[in-house]
Structure 1
Amino acid sequence: MSNMAPSDKRLGLHEQAIDALLVLTEQRRFRLATVDEVAQAIDAPIERVRQLFPDDNALLAAGIEQSLVVLMDVCRRAVVQVDPDDALAQFTALADAYLDWAAVHHVQFRMLSDCDPAFLLQTVALRRYIDGLTDLMTRMMTRARDDGRLHPREDIPMLILSARSYAYGLARMIVDGRMQDWAPDSDPVVMAKALSRDFVVRIARSSRQDASST
């Protein structure tokens, strides 16, 4: 008999199931695996697996939550290495971290980006991370505006939406192998970061020009 505590056993099975979900999803060209398929892959009784994941949506939510935990950790560690008084530099570091995460965790990126947005927003555990990341970006851009780096009447929510859309497009090009088509002589991640930084610089430059003309 194992001397492992019950909670440790559940944690081990949970991690095995998530790992299997990612492997199977990649093997099947991003068709999500079911709870039954995951149980079979890890050679675990289906009843035990269903105690953790009652249905396929619960399994998907757990997989995405794990991905978001990693993403938030990567982003926070990147941001704290930048001058805390330079909001735009922090914003750039945040974008760099997101692109690095997408390149390394490409299966998780695809699983997250292909998920129904309604499912993400209606699942409390997932929305907490998404809202947290949005709030972090909003605080950065608000500070940049208050510091005179952006137009005093800059539409921060619209700016955040534009930045998220742009960063997602760059990450998708990395994951899908499309960045090489546009910049064949450059490393995809390096080029994506350069484009992201150019985006931030142009936003700041145009905002200051608009402010000086008013």
Structure 2
Amino acid sequence: MSKTYHHGDLPKALIAAASAIVEEAGVEALSVRAVAKRVGVSPGAPFRHFASRDALLAAVAGQAMERLATAVEAGQLKTDADPLEQIRMIGTAYLRWVAEHPTQFAIISQRNLVPLEGTARKQNDAIRDRMMALLTMARSHGHLRHDADPAAVLLSCRALVYGLSRMLIDGHFPEWSPEGDPLDWMQRSLDHFIRDLRPGPGQEAGE
């Protein structure tokens, strides 16, 4: 028996091994056989817990989504910040996590590859709902431009961080930004977007 996991922890060990393979060599390198070899079990052992490669990949995506949700939650430690600042903090945490875990992001961002289900779906929805609540609060507190529709702003926020993240993992930054750390330019773009949501001089705040 493999010494890489304790009795009863084989599913956890398989997910960890699958995650490591994806991080090291990409989704294309993932196979049930490769995972079994890394953990040190027979090729058929993983099938007692995961019916297929896709099921194992879904488990990896679920773990990645959990880690992203944890990073986003940790990014909101300043609970006294105003709503738009909290939105910025969510975006910052998201972008930093993507920069540190590009392959895991590639998995959870491609719904045609791995549909989000179960807990992963709930965690994704929780982030969206939290952002919507903050934008609604920003409008009611006068922090949001009067002509800004919270629902449209929410979609724009998602499009911005998702688009920047895809640009990063797809290697587009050398073509579209000056030299320097891509994460720094991603942050600057986010900060610029948040600033433009606030009422400017002579502008009426949202009611």
Work out whether residues 35 and 53 of structure 1, in 8 Å CA contact, stay in contact via their aligned partners in 2: no
- Could you say which residue in structure 2 is the equivalent of 1:70? 67
The counterpart of 1:143, out of the listed 120, 137, 146, is 137
- Could you say which residue in structure 2 is the equivalent of 1:196? 190
User: 2:121 corresponds to which letter in structure 1?
Assistant: R
User: 2:109 corresponds to which letter in structure 1?
Assistant: S
TM-score normalised by structure 1 residue count: 0.82
- Could you say which residue in structure 1 is the equivalent of 2:97? 101
Work out whether residues 22 and 107 of structure 1, in 8 Å CA contact, stay in contact via their aligned partners in 2: no
Is 2:107 the counterpart of 1:128? no
Work out whether residues 17 and 35 of structure 2, in 8 Å CA contact, stay in contact via their aligned partners in 1: yes
Which range is displaced more, 170-179 or 146-155? 146-155
Change (3 A) 1:183 1:56: same
User: 2:180 corresponds to which letter in structure 1?
Assistant: S
Q: Which runs of 5+ in 2 are unaligned?
A: none
| Counterparts of 1:114 and 1:134, CA distance in 2 | 17
The counterpart of 1:24, out of the listed 21, 24, 38, is 21
Change (3 A) 1:85 1:67: same
Work out whether residues 144 and 150 of structure 1, in 8 Å CA contact, stay in contact via their aligned partners in 2: yes
How far does residue 161 in structure 1 lie from its aligned partner after superposition?
1.3
How far does residue 137 in structure 1 lie from its aligned partner after superposition?
0.8
Change (3 A) 1:19 1:149: same
Give CA deviations for 1:30-86 in whole Å, capped at 9, x if unaligned.
Answer: 326233332233331234312221222321221111111111111111111x35241
How far does residue 151 in structure 1 lie from its aligned partner after superposition?
4.1
How far does residue 98 in structure 1 lie from its aligned partner after superposition?
0.4
- How many equivalent pairs are there? 204
SS of residue in 2 equivalent to 1:10: coil
| Counterparts of 1:212 and 1:58, CA distance in 2 | 48
Change (3 A) 1:166 1:152: same
The counterpart of 2:87, out of the listed 83, 87, 91, is 91
- Could you say which residue in structure 1 is the equivalent of 2:169? 175
SS of residue in 2 equivalent to 1:19: helix
Work out whether residues 18 and 60 of structure 2, in 8 Å CA contact, stay in contact via their aligned partners in 1: yes
- Could you say which residue in structure 2 is the equivalent of 1:61? 58
Question: How many percent of aligned residue pairs carry the same amino acid?
Answer: 27
Matches within 5 A, 1:42-53: 42-53=39-50
Change (3 A) 1:185 1:56: same
| Counterparts of 1:99 and 1:22, CA distance in 2 | 20
User: 1:158 corresponds to which letter in structure 2?
Assistant: A
- Could you say which residue in structure 1 is the equivalent of 2:107? 111
Change (3 A) 1:117 1:145: farther
Indicate the RMSD between aligned Cα atoms, in angstroms: 2.9
Which range is displaced more, 39-48 or 102-111? 39-48
More helix, by proportion: 1
| Counterparts of 2:173 and 2:97, CA distance in 1 | 16
Which range is displaced more, 111-120 or 163-172? 111-120
